[in-house]
Structure 1
Amino acid sequence: MPVSTSLSDEDLMLRVQADDLDQLTPLFERYHGPLFGFLTRLNHGDQEIGQDLTQNVFLRVLKYRASFRAGLRFRTWLYQLARHVHADHWQQRRPAPPTSTTWSTPRPTAAPPRLTSRPPIAPSRCRRR
């Protein structure tokens, strides 16, 4: 089927769901720039990461096309995928949690010094209220 640019985003996505993958081209053309800008801003201006994540979002559009429901806005669904791709990216970059031996607190070798600048207060000098 020929690529149609006059259809709404939702109609194009419904056609992509029906395995007319050529209809993904106008969606890519419409959303590549804005999505790239969104993901680049989320990554503090890193355009390389923004580009990689933008490609991953469109791969997920293809992979999870069956989860798009008629009646929903495509833009909302797409940006939700983008947020998930971004979160997954940072989840994978997070270092592994340290093992329990790394977190062990060193034991003190000597008792802490006592403050001796004042003599102790005699109990008879303490007032009770």
Structure 2
Amino acid sequence: MNSLTDNAIMLKVRDGDLDRMGLLFERYHRQLYRFLYHMTYQREASEDMVQVIFYKMIKYRNSFTGTGEFVHWMYTIARNVLKDRGRQKSRCKRG
């Protein structure tokens, strides 16, 4: 089962097999955490953002077409989550 490509797994998730997201989580949660931690140097915030990213991958799974690489799609979501966090922090400073 672990021999499936990331794209094949995500296509199965997109088509309703949500249990397969666990495989992608096992493959990528550490890598995402390192990326986010490198950008923020905040352990808890990075852990929280990893969870948000996987939530959004499930929520927006229908936007995954399989024509590009899964990792690119995942990191697009990660960068957007990071930007959202930056906007929220700047609002808090102003407000």
Alignment of 1:9-88 (within 5 A): 9-43=6-40, 45-88=41-84
Whichever of the two has the greater Rg, that structure is 1
- Give the TM-score, by structure 2 length: 0.93
Greater relative CO, 1 or 2 (CA 8 Å, sep 6+): 2
Q: In the aligned structure 2, how far is the partner of 1:19 from the partner of 1:41?
A: 33
How many pairs align?
94
- State the superposition RMSD in angstroms: 1.4
* Offset at residue 66 of structure 1 (A): 0.4
Percent identical pairs in the alignment equals 37
The TM-score, its normalising length taken from structure 1, stands at: 0.69
Which structure has greater helix proportion? 2
Question: Structure 2 unaligned runs (5+)?
Answer: none
Gaps of 5+ in 1: 99-129
